[in-house]
Amino acid sequence: MYRERLGIRPGTWLGMAAMVAAAMAALPAAAADEATKSGWGLLNLPVGVTSISRDVYSIHMMAFWVCVAIGILVFGVMIWSIIFHTRSRGAVADVTLVHNTKVEIVWTTIPVLILIGMAIPAAHGLVLISDDSHSQLDVKVTGFQWGWQYDYVGKGVSFISKLDAKSMAASELDSGISPYSVPHYLRNVDHPMVVPVGTKVRLLLTAVDVIHSWWVPDLGIKKDAIPGYINQSWFEVDADKPGTYRGQCAELCGRGHGYMPIVVKALSKSDFQAWLKREAAAEKAAAARMASSS
């Protein structure tokens, strides 16, 4: 009977599990700069460029492999019964097998131990992430519909950062412009946030209208920006990893939610100081112009 034959089919699951494991095993490769490579290879978290992001990455992989291991075990047993304990193979049900205290104790305690094993590194990492003391640079980040405002506390530098014009144009309904023709489509801004490498930067997050969420995967942090409250978070880009890191708003905030990216440019300390000077001067000039014109 066809239904008996179906018995072996679920074996495909084994294949699937293997496929998944294989795919995920090739993951760290995906850490390379996203835009340059095709999407097929983007399967995993980026390792990132901060101590936090690396921490998170290792916790993530640890959890992943634990699950794969347990999965292979549990699915293995299931598949075994599905293949061999079938009526088509003349298997006769052992109706006495209804409960076994020893086994049940074992499979209650072992998961507990595994979980403790996972909880310890997770808790440890969490404690590190939560320590935002001794920051060397404070930036107040204000989310609004739809963009971000960055105020460099005490540095006289403050600007608004929005989706860049090219992406904006291409993202119109039936714009006719191919997203592929736009560099960093939807992940580029007119005025990126600039930070020095090797410096502990503390973010003071808030919002003016609705809840937004500031997220840059390579920095390993995501924190909600809540109207009327200040949330704190921090990151420190490795001294040897200047570069541009991109993210997006990660809390539904209305029509423009998909259109408020975050771009962080990490410069060497000296370059940053130079940038800061230029920026401050420029803003003074602008302010002066405003004053005179009015």
Partner 1 sequence: MANAQAPAHAHGDDHYYIPHGSPWPIIAAVALFCLMWGAVAYLDDWAGAWAFVPGPILIFYMFGGWFHTVIGENQLGIYNAQVDRSFRMGMMWFIFSEVMFFGAFFGALFYARVLAVPWLGGQGVKGLTNLILWPRYEAAWPTNGPGHIGGENFEAMSAYGIAAINTLILLTSGLTVTIAHHALRSGNRGRLKLFLAFTFILGFSFVALQGHEYYDAYTKLNLRLTTGIYGSTFFMLTGFHGLHVTIGAIMLLVVWLRVLRGHFTPRQHFAFEAVSWYWHFVDVVWLGLFVFVYWL
Partner 2 sequence: MAEPHTETHAHAEHDHKPHGWRRWVFATNHKDIGTMYLVFSCIMFFTGGAFAMMIRAELFKPGLQLVDAGVFNSLTTMHGLVMIFGAIMPAWVGLANWMIPIQIGAPDMALPRLNNLSFWILPFAFVLLLSSWLVPGSAPAGGWTMYPPLTLQFGSSFPMLIFAIHMMGISSILGAINVVVTIMNLRAPGMTLLRMPLFVWTWLITAYLLVAVMPVLAGAVTMMLTDHFFGTSFFNAGGGGDPVMFQHIFWFFGHPEVYIMILPGFGVVSEVIPAFSRKPLFGYEAMVYATASIAFLSFIVWAHHMFTVGLPLAALLFFMFSTMLIAVPTGVKVFNWTATMWRGSLTFEPPMLFSLAFLFLFTIGGFSGLMLALVPADFQYQDTYFVVAHFHYVLVSGSLFAIMSGVYYWLPKWVGRMYDIRLATWHFWLSAIFFNVLFFPQHFLGLAGMPRRIPDYAVQFADWNMVSSLGGFAFGLSQLLFPYIIWKCVRSGQRVEGTRAWDGARGLEWELPSPAPYHSWTTPPTEAMIARGAEH
Residue 254 binds to partner 2 (criterion: CB under 8 A): yes
Q: Which is nearer to partner 1, 161 or 206 (CB)?
A: 206
**Tokens at 100, concatenated:** 């076994």
Q: Which of 189, 165, 109, 158 is nearest to 282 (CA)?
A: 158
Cross-sheet strand order for the sheet of 243-248:
193-196, 261-267, 243-248
> Residue 278 belongs to what H/E stretch?
helix 269-293
Residue 266 binds to partner 1 (criterion: CB under 8 A): no
Contact in structure between 138 and 202 (CB atoms under 8 Å) = yes
Residue 191 binds to partner 1 (criterion: CB under 8 A): no
**Tokens at 184, concatenated:** 């960093």
Q: How far is CA 75 from CA 37, 83, 108, 115, in A?
A: 34, 12, 18, 19
Tell which one of 260, 264, 266, 267 touches ligand CUA (CB under 6 A).
Answer: 260
Residue 140 binds to partner 1 (criterion: CB under 8 A): yes
Report the C-alpha gap between 79 and 88 in whole angstroms.
15
163 binds, among ligand CUA, partner 2, ligand HEA, none (CB under 5 to 8 A by kind): none
Tell which one of 51, 86, 145, 232 touches partner 1 (CB under 8 A).
Answer: 232
Q: Which stretch binds ligand HEA (CB under 6 A): 7-15, 81-89, 109-117, 148-156?
A: 109-117
Tell which one of 34, 151, 251, 283 touches ligand CUA (CB under 6 A).
Answer: 251
Return the residues of window 69-88 that contact ligand HEA according to CB under 6 A.
70, 74
Tell which one of 68, 114, 168, 177 touches ligand HEA (CB under 6 A).
Answer: 114
Contact in structure between 227 and 136 (CB atoms under 8 Å) = no
Strand partners, 152: 139, 157
Q: Which stretch binds partner 1 (CB under 8 A): 89-97, 115-123, 229-237, 251-259?
A: 229-237
Report the C-alpha gap between 141 and 35 in whole angstroms.
26
- Size of site (CB under 6 A) for ligand CUA: 9
Binding mask 134-173 for partner 2 (x = CB under 8 A): ------------------------------------xxxx
Contact in structure between 211 and 225 (CB atoms under 8 Å) = yes
Return the residues of window 220-249 that contact ligand CUA according to CB under 6 A.
249
Q: Which is nearer to ligand CUA, 162 or 202 (CB)?
A: 162
Residue 187 binds to ligand CUA (criterion: CB under 6 A): no
Q: How many residues does the chain have?
A: 294
The per-residue DSSP string of 140-180 comes to EEEEETTEEEEEETTTTEEEEE-B-HHHHHHTSTT----GG
Q: Which is nearer to ligand HEA, 111 or 183 (CB)?
A: 111
Strand partners, 160: 149
Instruction: Provide the binding-site residues for partner 1, judged by CB under 8 A.
Output: 140, 204, 206, 228-232
Instruction: Provide the binding-site residues for ligand HEA, judged by CB under 6 A.
Output: 70, 74, 111, 114-115
